[in-house]
Amino acid sequence: MTTRRLFFALAALSVLSACASTGVIPVGDGVYMISKQSAAGIFGTPAGVEADIYRKANAYCAAQHQVIETVNVQTENAVPFYHEGSATLHFRCIPPK
């Protein structure tokens, strides 16, 4: 495989793997977590990712006729050639007020 083909294959894998999301995961005491990396890979910001995980968390709670309560949210900016931008949300589903 030529160097050029290898580069493009690795770039394609990087973009595809950068879209990964954990989905909603229970972590205990009624707290859930969802985490996602930027689809833009090492050049992306966490802003869109954060909005996306909030949408998913809201949908998860709405399916239970509840609303989201944020416990903690963490975002990480991308560092080119080191790691992707990402966001992680810890939340609870609580009855609406």
User: What confidence tens digit (pLDDT) does each residue in 28-76 have?
Assistant: 999 999 999 887 666 667 788 999 999 999 999 999 999 999 999 999 8
Question: Beta partners for 82?
Answer: none
Of residues 97 and 67, more confidence is placed in 67
pTM of the model: 0.74
Assess whether pLDDT exceeds 60 at residue 15.
no
Question: What would the DSSP string read from start to end of 8-73?
Answer: HHHHHHHHHHTT-B---EEEETTEEEEEEE-TTGGG--SHHHHHHHHHHHHHHHHTTT-EEEEEEE
